Amino acid sequence: MSGGMIAARIGAALLSDERSRKAAGWIIVAALSPLILIIAVLCSLGSGGAQHNNAAVEASFYGMAFSAEVPTEYS
């Protein structure tokens, strides 16, 4: 028997029972959840960086109106 045939038989045996299907699903979710969280953090950081860059471009080309509470050294 080849390796692919053995894997297919094991997969068919696992998916035939509802309890083993649910267990396999939870194992897949547990394995992929860190990856999903890392992607969410990277998207959040990218969005924050893009907003900062847009604000910096607007400030340099269009000027920036600061409130009276901002120190003069900063503005």
Model confidence pLDDT, tens digit, residues 14-55: 778 888 888 888 998 999 999 999 999 999 999 999 998 888
Q: What pLDDT was estimated at residue 74? A: 67
Euclidean distance between the first and the last CA atom of the chain, given in angstroms as a whole number:
75
Interatomic CA distance for residues 24 and 30, integer angstroms: 10
Half-sphere CA count of 66, side-chain side, radius 13 A: 9
pLDDT higher than threshold 80 for residue 72 = no
Domain ranges of the chain: 3-62
Q: What pLDDT was estimated at residue 34? A: 94
Average of pLDDT values for 5-10? 85
Number of H helices and E strands in the chain, helices first, is 2, 0
